[in-house]
Amino acid sequence: MGRQVALDMAAEGTKVVASDIATEGILSLQKEIEAQGDTVWRGNVMASREQIDVLIKTTVETYGRIDILINNAGLLIPGTIEKPRMTLLTRLKLM
Ligand SMILES: NC(=O)c1ccc[n+]([C@@H]2O[C@H](COP(=O)([O-])OP(=O)(O)OC[C@H]3O[C@@H](n4cnc5c(N)ncnc54)[C@H](O)[C@@H]3O)[C@@H](O)[C@H]2O)c1
């Protein structure tokens, strides 16, 4: 969903800054957006709070402001509330 939102907004002329913890996805999205024309684009892979802060700071320094913020990161690791898997708890930083 985030990929399509980024592509649609870039096609409308919006300056898109996107990030994803999955490197392959963000790199292919960057290529697609660049192929659409002159859209300015900065791809980042975030993994820590510090990297998020750098991304926000760089965005504001580059474009002056953030008009629209879309957070639609998705994480699906099958499990139940009664028996959550350790990977889910770890990735949500609950363990
Ligand atoms: N697809 C649907 O029909 C649907 C319906 C209702 C709600 N949603 C919600 O919308 C969101 C997006 O859904 P989707 O179908 O595009 O999911 P998706 O799994 O296709 O994409 C989610 C993306 O988020 C990235 N991501 C995960 N954790 C991240 C993090 N900490 N930082 C940055 N990126 C991170 C993943 O690498 C992945 O590229 C999810 O939260 C999902 O629960 C989706």
What single letter denotes the amino acid at residue 82? Answer: E
DSSP 89: H
- Give this prediction's pTM: 0.80
At 69, the pLDDT band (50, 70, 90 cuts) reads very high
Query: Which of 4, 7, 21, 55 for a ligand 1 pocket mutation test, highest count of atoms within 8 Å of Cβ?
Result: 21
Cβ(21) – ligand 1 distance below 6 Å: yes
Percent of the chain past pLDDT 70, that is, above it, reads 77
Compute the distance between CA of residue 66 and CA of residue 19 in angstroms, rounded to an integer: 14
All domains of the chain in start order, with CATH: 1-95 (3.40.50.720)
User: Do 6 and 29 form a contact (C-beta atoms < 8 A)?
Assistant: yes
Enter the tokens of residue 11.
Answer: 């096609």
Query: pLDDT digits over 83-92, tens only?
Result: 766 666 676 6
Measured from the Cβ of residue 67, the count of other Cβ atoms closer than 10 Å reads 8
What is the residue-averaged pLDDT of the chain?
79
Query: pLDDT tens, 9-52?
Result: 988 888 888 888 777 888 888 888 888 765 556 655 556 778 77
At 70 the three-state DSSP class reads coil
